[in-house]
Amino acid sequence: MTSENGRRRVVVTGVGALTPLGNDAETFWKNLIAGESGAGPITSFDTTGYAVQFACELKNFEPTDWVDAKSVRRMDRFALLSIGAARMAEADCGLAIAPEAERIGASIATGIGGLKSFQDCHLALWEKGPDRCSPFSIPSILPNMGAGWVSMELGTRGPLSSQCEACAASNMAIGDALDQIRLNRADVMFAGGTECGIAPVGIAGFGAMRALSRRNEDPLRASRPFDAERDGFVMGEAAGVIVLEELEHARARNAKIYAELIGYGISSDAHHMTEPDPSGRSPARAITMAMQDAGVGPEDIDYVNAHATSTPIGDASETRVLKVAFGEERAYRIPISSTKGATGHCLGGSGAIEAIASIFACGRDIVPPTLNLENPDPECDLDYIPNVARQVEVNVALSNNFGFGGHNACLIFRKFRG
């Protein structure tokens, strides 16, 4: 079925998530709405001597639940998470993937790729010599292998892509998948992102940038988007995959429909390696582009899932961005929250789990809170839903992601009404 502008309509028919708040989408959502935090001391390696010793780790993940033990040894954790999330989304959507699934594709993002595998390869080279590097090192490191493994494991033979645009990567992957269906190159796309940056080099590197919070004594309250006392983000790890499907294809098999994806916008700052455009114009342009693509205006947006990561510069910048995009009068009336207060910043995986939060907000008319927002920053003066979830009628939800290097990507979901 086409929309009024003649394009194929695209709906969400499956979701899968592995997050610091739970290892399936429903548990993630329940804990998110309840105001739980995924933060705690790092357990995956010894943090003695590190300036930052906590993160939002994924807990109780067993790779062999999704992949055979032999294959596990050939993959980095980021790829394993992508398979787990994709398998859950596959089961949730109830789609049987035929052996020659040429109209089914995958678009899976990551911000970094196989960071731990890169570190392990370097240590083996440094400590034991070149002959001791694993032959699986390079395939484990490559950022595209999250998408590659999903395609191989599920058997999809349609469009296959992998985005690597830092923290905007998942939104770009989902937006690319939307375009593949609209352009009639596919009927179904598995889309999302994955990231596992909680490795010594990740914590040390981001710590050296002073990007991470150093509240080692109080991890649960460390990620505090829009709060005046925020001092950096908390590293998280996660994977999220949604199934996007052309509407008539979904109806033909009587699929359940969570929401409709109606808008996608992207722009670039051309400003700085890590700092956002101070004027807010470039990210606002991505929001405006998404609204134009969706055929909606500022008055139609009922909820914004903000990118806000709990950094001093970034959160104040996004406040300006929202005022530029919506106009100040409207910006003050829209409920907005950052779920990173609960999940930490999962880098290239963030947008995927935040898309799921936005989809659920549309379907369930409740919006998650901004955790640890106790002392609002005067520069962050919009309605940021502090600490407690709120019942709101959500017909249209916007999800923002902005990444290092000036990448901006925004998605708009709408409650599905047939």
Asked whether residue 258 is domain-assigned, the answer is: no
Nearest-angstrom CA–CA distance, 44 and 46: 7
Identify the domain boundary among 218, 252, 286. 252
Catalytic residues: 167, 307, 345
**Considering only CA atoms, which of 56, 34, 40 is closest in space to residue 346?**
56
Asked whether residue 5 is domain-assigned, the answer is: no
Helix 115-128 / helix 200-208 crossing angle, nearest 10 deg: 100
Residue 386's alpha-carbon distances to 202, 219, 227, 246, 397, in angstroms, are 30, 18, 10, 37, 18
Q: How many domains does the chain have?
A: 2
Asked whether residue 304 is domain-assigned, the answer is: yes
**Where residue 292 falls among pLDDT bands split at 50, 70, 90?**
very high
The pairing of beta strand 188-196 with beta strand 104-109: parallel
**Where residue 312 falls among pLDDT bands split at 50, 70, 90?**
very high
Query: Tell me, what's the pLDDT at 22?
Result: 98
The pairing of beta strand 390-391 with beta strand 259-268: unpaired
N-terminal to C-terminal alpha carbon distance within the chain? 11
Q: For the segment 65-76, what is each residue's pLDDT rounded down to a tens digit? A: 999 999 998 999
Query: Tell me, what's the pLDDT at 3?
Result: 59
**Considering only CA atoms, which of 4, 25, 77, 50 is closest in space to residue 352?**
25
**Considering only CA atoms, which of 75, 102, 113, 115 is closest in space to residue 160?**
102
Q: Which of 6-10, 26-30, 103-107, 248-252 has the lowest mean pLDDT?
A: 6-10
**Where residue 98 falls among pLDDT bands split at 50, 70, 90?**
confident
Q: For the segment 176-204, what is each residue's pLDDT rounded down to a tens digit? A: 999 999 999 999 999 999 999 999 999 99
Asked whether residue 333 is domain-assigned, the answer is: yes
Query: Tell me, what's the pLDDT at 26?
Result: 98
**Considering only CA atoms, which of 178, 194, 6 is closest in space to residue 83?**
194
Query: Tell me, what's the pLDDT at 313?
Result: 94
Query: Tell me, what's the pLDDT at 136?
Result: 87
321 Cβ contact partners less than 8 Å away, ≥ 6 residues apart: 276, 280, 283, 284, 287, 400
Q: Return the structure tokens found at 183.
A: 């352009």
**Considering only CA atoms, which of 320, 305, 287, 407 is closest in space to residue 359?**
305
Q: For the segment 148-157, what is each residue's pLDDT rounded down to a tens digit? A: 999 999 999 9
**Where residue 2 falls among pLDDT bands split at 50, 70, 90?**
low
Pair (231, 294) in one structural domain: no
Q: For the segment 15-32, what is each residue's pLDDT rounded down to a tens digit? A: 999 999 999 999 999 999
Query: Tell me, what's the pLDDT at 96?
Result: 86
**Is the pLDDT assigned to residue 4 strictly greater than 70?**
no
Nearest-angstrom CA–CA distance, 307 and 170: 12
Q: Return the structure tokens found at 263.
A: 């808008």
Say whether pTM exceeds 0.85. yes
Q: Return the structure tokens found at 298.
A: 């500022």
Quick one: what percent of the chain has pLDDT higher than 90? 88
SS3 call for 34: coil
**Is the pLDDT assigned to residue 1 strictly greater than 60?**
no
**Where residue 272 falls among pLDDT bands split at 50, 70, 90?**
confident
**Is the pLDDT assigned to residue 49 strictly greater than 70?**
yes
**Where residue 405 falls among pLDDT bands split at 50, 70, 90?**
confident
Q: For the segment 327-350, what is each residue's pLDDT rounded down to a tens digit? A: 999 999 999 999 999 999 999 999
Residue 233 pairs with which residues in a beta bridge?
212
Asked whether residue 180 is domain-assigned, the answer is: yes
Q: Which domain holds residue 209?
A: 10-252
The pairing of beta strand 390-391 with beta strand 366-367: antiparallel
Pair (289, 212) in one structural domain: no
Q: Are 293 and 398 in contact (CB under 8 A)?
A: no
**Is the pLDDT assigned to residue 54 strictly greater than 70?**
yes
206: enclosing H helix or E strand? helix 200-208
Nearest-angstrom CA–CA distance, 142 and 140: 6
Residue with tokens 């596919």: 186
**Is the pLDDT assigned to residue 274 strictly greater than 80?**
no
Pair (238, 378) in one structural domain: no
Give the CATH number, domain containing residue 22: 3.40.47.10
Helix 312-326 / helix 281-294 crossing angle, nearest 10 deg: 50
Asked whether residue 165 is domain-assigned, the answer is: yes
Query: Tell me, what's the pLDDT at 161?
Result: 97
* Number of neighbours of residue 223 by Cβ within 10 angstroms: 33
**Is the pLDDT assigned to residue 277 strictly greater than 90?**
no
Query: Tell me, what's the pLDDT at 56?
Result: 98
Query: Tell me, what's the pLDDT at 238?
Result: 98
Pair (97, 22) in one structural domain: yes
Pair (105, 217) in one structural domain: yes
